[in-house]
Structures are given as C-alpha cells and as structure tokens.
C-alpha cells in the first residue's frame, strides 16, 4: 500500500511534465492538423536555457534565494523558448501552409534534427549534471513490511512541479475559454477559412499557438532539469514521443485530454517500472497507446471524427 | 505540373484543387517578385531577423556550459554570437535583394559584396601570420559561391512558370522513360566507372554507392506503403531491423544457412511482422497510424536492446557471414572466386559483388512495384490513397488492401535489412533508431510521393551529399580543429527543410494514377490533396 502510494505520487509528477509538453502537441494538431515533431526538442531547448540561466544567476551573479531564482529561471526560459517556437513555425511551417499534409511533417522532422544537432554542436554532446537544488519533503505515511520500513514521501520538488502544473493549467484554461485570443484560437480550430473571413488573423493566431506551446514545454523543461538533474541534447526525442502519445491517448485536439493522457502515461510508466521491469517501461506506454487507439480510435476525451464525403 | 490550359479553372471544379492551384500560382510567381525594392524596408527586415537570431543564439552561441571540477561552468563566446548576428543580417539582406524582391542590379551587387567581405573578414579574423591570406581567400570564395547559388535560384524561379506548364498525358513514351533508362545504365556500370575513374579511392566510392543503393531500395519499399497506398508509416525501420536480425540469427545459429538461403526467409519474416503489426492498427488513419507505427518501431528497438539472451542486447550480433558467389567465398585461396574466374585476386571484388547484389535487389523492388501498380491490388492501393470512402463504397476490402501494401513494403525492408547485416558483418540496435525511419521517409517525400525516380534523386542528394562531407579532408588544412562530419546531420536537417519549402511536392512530381477511365481528368491526381488515407 505504501509502495503503491509512493509510486502514485511519482507517477503524477512525471505525468505533469508529460502533460505540459502534450498540450503543445494537441494545440498545434487541433489548429493546423500537423504533428509538430520538433516540439520535443523545443522542450529540450527550454531545459538548456533554464540550465544556463540558473548557473548565471547562482554561480555568476551570486543570487542565493532559491524561490526568486526559480521564478526568474522559469520566466526567462518561457520567453526565450517561446521565441524558438515562433521561429520554428515561421521558418519551417508557415511557408507550407496549405500545402499537402506530409510536407510540414517532413520539415518538422528536419527541424527536430536541426535543433538536436545545433545544441549538440554549440553545447557539446556530454550530459550536463546539475546537483539537486531542492531537497527534503513531507513524510506522509510510514509503514512497515517484512523488508523494513517504507516511507511515503512527497518531496518539495514534487510539490513544486504539481503546483506549477495546476497553476499553469488553470491559467491556460482561462486563457483559452475567456480571452479574445482563446476565442480566435477555438475559431481557427473549427474552421480556419471561416475564421479568416470573420476577421481573425489566422497566421497570428497560429504563431501564438506555437508560442504558448513552447512556453509550456519550457516550463516542463525546467521541471525536468530540477527533477532529474541531468540533461543532454537528446532528451527531447523520447519525452516528445511520450508526450505525443499522451496527447493521442487523451484525444488529440482536446486540452483536458492532453493533461489526462500525460498523467496516465506517467502513471503507466512509473507503475510498470515499479512492479515489473524498468527496461520495458516504454514498451508498456506504447502498447497501452496501441490498445486504446484500437478500441477507442479518437482517444479518451476526443470527439469522434465525422467522415465527410 | 498538372495545370493544363483548359478554359475551366480548376478552382471551379474542386475546392481542394483550388487550394492547390493557389499554392501553385503562389509558388510559380514568387509573391514579392514584382515588389519594388527599397533599402529602408530591406534593412528593417534584416535588422529584425538579426535581432531574432541574437535572441535565439544568446544562450546557445553566446554561452556554453561545460563540466569542470566543482560543477558546471559557463564560458562566454560573444564573438561567435556577434558574427552569427552579422551573418544573419547580411544574409537576410541578400535574400531581400535576390529572392524576395526584384531589386536593381546595384543593390544586388552591394548586398553581395557586403556579404562576401563579411565572410572573408570573419574567416580571417584572429588568425596568425601567413594563414590569414589563405583564410581570407577561402572566405571570399565561399561567400561568392553562396551569392552565385542565390543568383541561379533567383534566375530559375523567374523563368519557372513557363517551364512548368507541361502536361503528362498518354502512355509513357520512350522520351519520358529516357531518364530512367540512362540512370539504370549508369547504375549498372557504376563499379567499373568508379574503378576506372578513381583507382585510388575505389573502395570508398563503391561503399558510398552501396549505401546510396540501400537507401534507394528502402525508399522504393516504403514508397509502396506511403506513396502508393497513402499510409503514413513512421516505423519502417522496424522491418529493416527484423530482416537484419532474422538473417543474423539464422546464419549464426545454423551452419548451413548462407546469405542466399536466409535472404528469402528474412523477407518472409519481415512481411509476416508487417501483417502482425499492421493487422490491429490499420483501421486507424492518418496521424494515428503514424504514431502507432512509430511506437512499434520503438518497441522493436527496445526489445532488441533488452532481450539479451536472444539478440545480444546492446552488444549486437557479430560474425555474420559474407555472401557467397555460387557457394564460393571472395578469398585469395584456391577455392576463391578470383581463382575460379581466372582473374587476379583483389579485395575490391567483394565490394563490387555487394554492389551488384543490392543493385539487383533494388531493381527487383522497382520492377515488382511497377508491375503491381498495374494489377488490381496496385490499383486498389492508388484508389485507397485517393479516397478511402469511395473505395469502400465500391466494395474494395480496404483492410486486405492495406495489409498487402504493408506486408510487401515490409518484405522489401526485410531484404534490405539482411543485405545490411551481411554487408556490415555486425548489427546492433543502434542502427535501427527512429532517425533511420525519418531519413527513409524524408527520401520518399523529398523525392516526390509515388515517384520512383524521385527516390533515386533524393537518395543521391541527401545520402550522397552528406557522406561527401566526410571526404573533405582539405577543410582541416585550412581550419585546424574544424570537423565537417560534426555538421553533417545539421546540414541534413536544414536541407530537408529547405528542399521541402522550395519544392513542397518533392523533387520529381509525377503522381498520375496508373489506371484511367476513358480520358484523363482535367485535374490531375497530384492536384488533389495527397496521402490523406481517407
């Protein structure tokens, strides 16, 4: 029971990170119907920016008060990563707007290769370790088994991750449902041509979608950096594939679906590693995806597609 | 492309056609080609681009984190950032004058000279003594080459609309087949051309030819799935891996099993896996299919990596036998091929032989595809690609049709995989990463979906071009410590983006259905949104 609870907490933490990345995928898919393959690498870019800013603040400028440092890191990472997201869209996707469906997919894969190798060349191929910054936690429960005592612990880091995710998700949901930008976005999602006839600047809306997706991914990058303490230029691929899996699992195009999918993928992965084998945790996540899609082709919360003739 | 000179514009017939026609019109006449050029706007755009480059590069070019005793340290490289920003500014200016606007010649000359001078300065900056002049010259040469390429592109796109207006109708004539036949003849004689022209580097070039041919074959195999049947498969490398491991395991476990016996088995096994993987997922469509195939590709790689007893895990399998010629090995001894044929032994024979194996395998793939296209199943694939609902309404069993495409594509992937295993003599899961799938898919799409010649063109450009970077050793004499190999994937990625933006429909675009009822439609198939899978 204690072991289960601990795994549940770990799974929710990991799932939050996947969920934050998955939102970028699901929004872009909803609005222009393409898989933004470079999104996982945007997440990686975010975590590299966060690492550099963190080092600048702590070891160069000598700030020591961690909450302020973290806040600045998150804000700077969001701003700069958003710029990356915008540029990727501007360079690789906008010229292909209205082209056939595979064209932006290929440029997205190309962009993903470019980003990975750019970071590898400029920052080196070796992993960057960052010693744990936030230690300690709250002991929730203490139980004893035949092997000794098991402590269920909710670390401060996990609290920060889950709280940040909740705050961002709330803010984001409000942004989509209450502001004119959100309205424009939902309009573009339903019918781009009609939206442009009604005066919505479609290109600007799509750009902002990429900007928001990148900003959320960069927060995920910060969290990943703080949670695992090790990043390299390749982390974007697997995280990206998992997050896309999460988006599809939740029903692509649906924002709560992306979050739910992210949590589920995180839980599956953690429970599989906890109870079965660590090596096959990716296999488990992908198999669940295949099974869900076979029985529920539009995902958990997605609307079934209507076939138009 | 398919725009013909009929009186009815395509836009009146089909909204999708209208969209694509608009796209073509936009591509044919670069929208800003008639824009008047003024320095103020151009400089402002260039400044914006430079600012964005500065922001993007700030944490990546300007700083670098490195592991040092006592934790990570930051090193600053402001000069690199400054150079990059200046380069982007001048590069954008160059694009403004050459591509985006019809700028007067004076503006072009000024922008070009500025760009060349800047590259020369950056190259020669901070170089001691005698090397400085060398570097300056190289920089100026490089800059001039870039400007020349831009000039050619600008000139090409200005006269492009007239050249594009040709329609392909009627059965293929000898003239339309000529490029294919010429390419075939060149490829058939390639090892001999190489050994005559480059006797010093024959092994290296034949190796490159083998590599390119392998990708051509993989591209043709995937073309069946993506180009003909319109199913987006992001996990093609799974079948390549199944083929390679089947051959490796069969040949290392059974003594009697040579390349020629294992080859068909590997292909059959790969096809079998294609059916097993394809069966549950083929009711999915479009991007769902893409992500599930990607997931399967990853699953197979993870299993290969972790099933230590069976596959050797990350260590892979080594000691895979080389292919034999009528049961003879390519050795120096009495029973070798050279002695049998009565020619002098040379190590190059084995490579020439390998080249011909993959050449023949690729040609078989091509022939089978071309013939299948004319059979009912091939026509069903093309119909499926164009409209799945119409297919089902006409009573075509879409599941079986998709499965055959998947299985046949997988089979050729398996053949290519076992060839890969025998060529390398060693395989490990590392060779079957997602990147490989992405490269194969990129070759198919960049070449032009469904086009056989396009696959060849894209393989030569992408694989050949990238591998050539390995051979530019002279760069190291000019720039000590500069390793172009490091940049090859970066350049590969940029090339993918650039080719796609420049020619969204691929290098060679012919995608007419093989079967036509009475007469060809006013709107060619390549004007309809393609690869939709529904």
Helices (H), chain A: 2-32, 39-55, 66-88, 102-123, 156-178, 180-190, 192-197, 202-228, 235-250, 255-275, 281-295
- For B64, which of A56, A117, A123 is closest by C-beta distance? A123
Q: Does B7 touch chain A (CB under 8 A)?
A: no
Residue A8, pLDDT > 50, answer yes
Band the pLDDT of A29: cuts 50, 70, 90.
confident
Contact A110 B496 (CB under 8 A): yes
Question: Is the per-residue pLDDT at A309 higher than 60?
Answer: no
Spell out which residues of chain B touch residue A101, defining contact as CB-CB under 8 Å.
Answer: 286, 529-532
What CATH class is the domain B174-188+205-325+355-466+481-527? mainly alpha
Examine the pLDDT at A77 and tell me if it is beyond 70.
Answer: yes
Nearest-by-Cβ selection for A111 from B290, B305, B493: B493
Contact B291 A35 (CB under 8 A): yes
**pLDDT tens for each residue of B135-191:** 788 888 888 888 888 888 877 766 555 444 444 455 566 666 777 888 888 888 888
**Disruptive mutation site among A109, A115, A243 for chain B (greatest number of B CBs within 10 Å):** A109
Query: Terminal CA-to-CA distance of chain A, rounded, Å?
Result: 53
* A106 touches B: beta carbon within 8 Å: yes
Nearest-by-Cβ selection for A123 from B60, B287, B496:
B60
Task: Give B509's pLDDT tier (boundaries 50, 70, 90).
Answer: low
Residue A288 touches chain B, beta carbons under 8 Å:
no
Of B74, B362, B7, the C-alpha closest to B209 is: B362
Within B59-104, where are the H helices?
A: 78-95
- Residues A37 and A217: beta-carbon distance below 8 Å: no
Rounded mean pLDDT of B374-384?
A: 88
Q: Write out pLDDT tens, residues B85-117.
A: 998 998 888 888 887 777 778 888 888 888 888
Which of A55, A87, A294 is nearest residue B52 as measured by Cβ atoms?
A: A87
- Surface of B (304-333) touching A: CB under 8 A: 305-306
Gap from A11 CA to chain B (nearest CA, Å): 21
Residue B32 near chain A (CB below 8 Å):
no
Put simply, the answer to whether B295 touches A245 (Cβ < 8 Å) is yes
B302 reaches A (C-beta below 8 A) = yes
Chain A residues close to B495, C-beta within 8 Å? 110
C-beta atoms of A101 and B56 within 8 A: no
Q: Taking CA atoms, what residue in A is nearest to B24?
A: A99
Helix axes A39-55, A102-123, angle to 10 degrees: 20
pLDDT computed for residue B213 by the predictor: 93
CA distance B290 to chain A (A): 9
Contact A118 B60 (CB under 8 A): yes
User: Does A132 contact B at CB distance below 8 Å?
Assistant: no
Mutation target to probe the B interface, by most B beta carbons within 10 A, among A106, A123, A207 is A106
The residue ranges of every structural domain in chain A are 2-295
**Residue A276 touches partner B, C-beta closer than 8 Å:** no
Return the residue of B nearest to A92 by Cα: B497
Instruction: Find the residue in B nearest to A97 (Cα).
Output: B23
| pLDDT interval class at A306 (50, 70, 90) | low
Residue B222 structure tokens: 């995937």
3-state secondary structure of B35: coil
A174 touching B, CB under 8 A?
Answer: no
Nearest-Cα residue of chain B relative to residue A231: B65
Residue of B nearest to A289 (CA): B292
Question: Closest-CA residue in chain A for B283?
Answer: A294
Most confidently predicted of A188-192, A290-294, B284-288, B356-360? B356-360
Q: Is the pLDDT of residue A41 over 50?
A: yes
Here the tokens at position A274 are 């906890």
A-chain CB neighbours of B292 within 8 Å are: 289-290, 293
Put simply, the answer to whether A290 touches B295 (Cβ < 8 Å) is yes
The answer, for B49 touching chain A at a CB cutoff of 8 Å, is no
Residues of B in contact with A131 (CB under 8 A): 71
In degrees and rounded to multiples of 5, residue B312 shows phi and psi of 80, 5
Q: What angle do CA B189, B191, B193 make, to 5 degrees?
A: 65
Q: Contacts of residue B60 in chain A, CB cutoff 8 Å?
A: 48, 118-119, 122-123
Rounded to a whole number, what is the distance in Å from the CA of A111 to chain B's nearest CA?
Answer: 6
Lowest mean pLDDT among A283-287, B325-329, B528-532: B528-532
The pair of three-digit structure tokens given for residue B247, joined into one six-digit string: 């051959």
SS (H, E, C) B246-312: HHHHHHHHCCCCCHHHHHHHHHHHHHHHHHHHHHHHCCCCHHHHHHHHHHHHHHHHHHHHHCHHHHC
Q: Using the predicted structure, report yes or no on whether residue B15 has a pLDDT greater than 70.
A: no
d(CA B320, CA B338): 22
Residue B75, strand partner residues: B64
Distance of CA B495 to the CA centre of its chain: 10
A100 neighbourhood in chain B, CB within 8 Å: 20, 504-505, 529-531
Question: Rounded distance, CA A179 to CA A174, Å?
Answer: 7
**Among A29-43, B45-59, B175-189, where is mean pLDDT lowest?**
B175-189
Q: Which of A19-28, A172-181, B5-14, B428-437 bottoms out in mean pLDDT, i.e. has the lowest?
A: B5-14
Contact of B388 with B398, CB cutoff 8 Å: yes
Residue A129 CB partners (closer than 8 Å, separation 6+): A229, A230, B67, B72
Partner B contacted by A180 (CB < 8 A): no
A56 has a chain B CB within 8 A of its CB: yes
Q: How far apart are alpha carbons B410 and B233 in whole angstroms?
A: 11
CB contact under 8 A, B441 and A51: no
CA–CA distance, A49 with B59 (Å, rounded to integer): 6
Q: Across the interface, do B284 and A87 touch by the CB < 8 Å criterion?
A: no
Cross-chain residue pair A102–B435, CB shorter than 8 Å: no
d(CA A206, CA A211): 9
pLDDT (0 to 100) of residue A82: 95
Contact A106 B500 (CB under 8 A): yes
Distance in Å, alpha carbon of A194 to nearest chain B alpha carbon: 14
Q: pLDDT band at B531, cuts 50/70/90?
A: very low
pLDDT band at A211 (very low <50, low <70, confident <90, very high): very high
- The answer to whether A50 and A219 have CB atoms below 8 angstroms apart is no
Using a CB-CB cut-off of 8 Å, the residues of chain B touching A241 are 294-295, 298, 434
Q: pLDDT (tens digit, 9 = 90+) per residue, A173-187? A: 899 889 998 899 888
Tokens of residue B148, six digits:
């020349």
Structure token pair of residue A208: 């902002």
Q: What are the φ and ψ backbone dihedral angles of B451, each rounded to 5 degrees?
A: -95, 125
Contact A102 B442 (CB under 8 A): no
pLDDT of residue B360: 92
- Which residues of chain A does B497 touch, with a Cβ-Cβ cutoff of 8 Å? 91-92, 107, 110-111, 114
- Find chain A residues with C-beta within 8 A of B532's C-beta: 101
User: In the A/B pair of chains, how many CB contacts fall below 8 A?
Assistant: 186
* Residues contacting B323, CB < 8 A, separation 6+: B258, B259, B260, B353, B354, B357, B422
CB-based contact B496:A110 (threshold 8 Å): yes
* Chain B 354-413, residues with CB within 8 Å of chain A CB atoms: 389
Task: Answer yes or no: do B281 and A84 touch at CB < 8 A.
Answer: no
What is the residue extent of each domain of chain B? 24-164, 174-188+205-325+355-466+481-527
Q: Which CATH architecture has domain A2-295?
A: Orthogonal Bundle (1.10)
Does A290 contact B504 at a Cβ distance shorter than 8 Å? no
Of A92, A105, A293, which has the smallest distance from its Cβ to B292's Cβ?
A: A293
Nearest neighbour of B59 by CB, restricted to A48, A59, A286: A48
Query: What's chain A's average pLDDT?
Result: 87
Q: Which of A130-134, A235-239, B412-416, B469-473 has the lowest mean pLDDT?
A: B469-473
- Please name the member of B284, B290, B389 whose beta carbon is closest to the beta carbon of A297: B284
Q: Where are the strands (E) in B371-502, listed by range?
A: 426-427
């Amino acid at each position: 029971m204690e072991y289960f609870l601990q795994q549940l907490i770990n799974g929710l933490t990991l799932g939050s990170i996947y969920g934050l990345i998955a939102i970028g995928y699901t929004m872009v898919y909803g609005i222009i119907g393409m898989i933004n393959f470079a999104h996982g690498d945007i997440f990686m870019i975010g975590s590299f920016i966060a690492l550099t800013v963190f080092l600048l603040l702590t070891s160069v400028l000598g700030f020591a008060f961690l909450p302020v440092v973290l806040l600045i890191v998150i804000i700077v990472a969001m701003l700069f990563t958003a710029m990356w997201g915008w540029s990727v869209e501007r360079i690789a996707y906008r010229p292909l707007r209205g082209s056939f469906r595979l064209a932006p997919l290929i440029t997205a894969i190309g962009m993903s290769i470019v980003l990975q190798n750019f970071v590898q060349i400029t920052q080196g191929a070796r992993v960057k370790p960052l010693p744990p910054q936030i230690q300690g936690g709250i002991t929730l429960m203490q139980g004893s088994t035949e092997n000794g005592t098991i402590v269920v612990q909710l670390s401060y880091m996990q609290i920060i991750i889950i709280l940040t995710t909740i705050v961002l998700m709330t803010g984001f949901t409000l942004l989509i449902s209450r502001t004119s930008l959100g309205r424009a976005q939902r309009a573009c999602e339903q019918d781009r041509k009609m939206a442009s006839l009604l005066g919505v600047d479609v290109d600007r809306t799509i750009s902002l979608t990429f900007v928001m997706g990148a900003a959320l991914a960069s927060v995920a990058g910060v969290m990943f950096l703080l949670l695992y303490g090790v990043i390299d230029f390749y982390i974007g691929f697997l995280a990206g594939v998992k997050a896309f899996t999460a988006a599809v699992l939740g029903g692509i195009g649906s924002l709560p679906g992306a979050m739910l999918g992210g949590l589920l993928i995180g839980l599956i992965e953690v429970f599989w590693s906890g109870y079965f084998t660590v090596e096959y945790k990716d296999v488990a996540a992908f198999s669940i995806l295949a099974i869900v899609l076979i029985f529920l082709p539009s995902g958990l919360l997605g609307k079934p597609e209507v076939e138009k003739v | 492309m398919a725009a013909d000179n009929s009186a009815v514009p395509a836009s009146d017939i089909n909204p999708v056609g209208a969209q694509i026609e608009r796209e073509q019109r936009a591509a044919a006449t670069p929208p800003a080609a008639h824009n008047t050029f003024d320095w103020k706007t151009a400089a402002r755009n260039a400044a914006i681009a430079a600012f964005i480059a500065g922001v993007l590069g700030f944490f990546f070019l300007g700083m670098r984190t490195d592991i040092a005793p006592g934790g990570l340290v930051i090193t600053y490289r402001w000069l690199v950032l400054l150079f990059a920003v200046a380069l982007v500014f001048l590069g954008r200016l160059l694009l403004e004058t050459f591509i985006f606007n019809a700028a007067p010649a004076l503006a072009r000359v000024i922008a070009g000279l500025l760009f060349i001078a800047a590259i020369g300065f950056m190259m020669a900056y901070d170089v001691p003594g005698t090397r400085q002049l060398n570097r300056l010259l190289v920089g100026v040469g490089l800059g001039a080459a870039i400007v020349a390429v831009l000039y050619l592109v600008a000139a090409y796109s200005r006269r492009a609309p007239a050249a594009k207006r040709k329609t392909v109708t009627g059965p293929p004539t000898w003239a339309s087949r000529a490029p294919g036949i010429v390419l075939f003849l060149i490829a058939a004689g390639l090892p001999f051309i190489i050994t005559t022209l480059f006797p010093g580097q024959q092994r290296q070039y034949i190796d490159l030819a083998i590599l390119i041919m392998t990708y051509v074959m993989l591209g043709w195999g995937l073309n069946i799935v993506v180009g003909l049947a319109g199913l987006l498969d992001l996990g093609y490398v799974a079948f390549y891996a199944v083929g390679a491991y089947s051959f490796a395991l069969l040949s290392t476990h059974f003594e009697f099993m040579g390349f020629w016996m294992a080859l068909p088995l590997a292909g059959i096994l790969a096809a079998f896996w294609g059916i097993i993987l394809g069966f549950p997922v083929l009711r999915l469509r479009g991007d769902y299919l893409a992500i599930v195939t990607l997931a399967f590709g990853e699953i197979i790689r993870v299993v290969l990596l972790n099933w230590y007893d069976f596959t050797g895990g990350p260590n892979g399998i080594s000691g895979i036998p080389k292919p034999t010629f009528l049961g003879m090995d390519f050795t120096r001894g009495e029973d070798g091929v050279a002695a049998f044929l009565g020619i002098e032994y040379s190590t190059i024979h084995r490579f020439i032989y390998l080249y011909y194996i993959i050449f023949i395998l690729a040609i078989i793939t091509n022939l089978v595809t071309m013939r299948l296209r004319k059979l009912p199943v091939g026509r069903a694939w093309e119909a499926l690609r164009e409209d799945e609902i119409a297919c089902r309404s006409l009573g075509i069993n879409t599941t079986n049709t998709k499965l055959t495409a998947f299985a046949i594509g997988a089979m050729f992937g398996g053949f290519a995989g076992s060839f890969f295993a025998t060529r390398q003599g060693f395989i490990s899961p590392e060779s079957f990463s997602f990147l490989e799938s992405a490269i194969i898919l990129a070759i198919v799409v960049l070449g032009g979906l469904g086009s056989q010649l396009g696959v060849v063109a894209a393989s030569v450009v992408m694989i050949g071009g990238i591998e050539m970077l390995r051979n530019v050793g002279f760069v190291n004499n000019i720039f000590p410590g500069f390793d172009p190999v490091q940049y090859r994937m970066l350049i590969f990625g940029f090339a993918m983006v650039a080719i796609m933006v420049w020619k969204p429909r691929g290098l060679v675009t012919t995608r007419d259905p093989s079967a036509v009822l009475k007469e060809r439609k006013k709107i060619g198939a390549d004007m309809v949104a393609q690869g939709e899978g529904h």
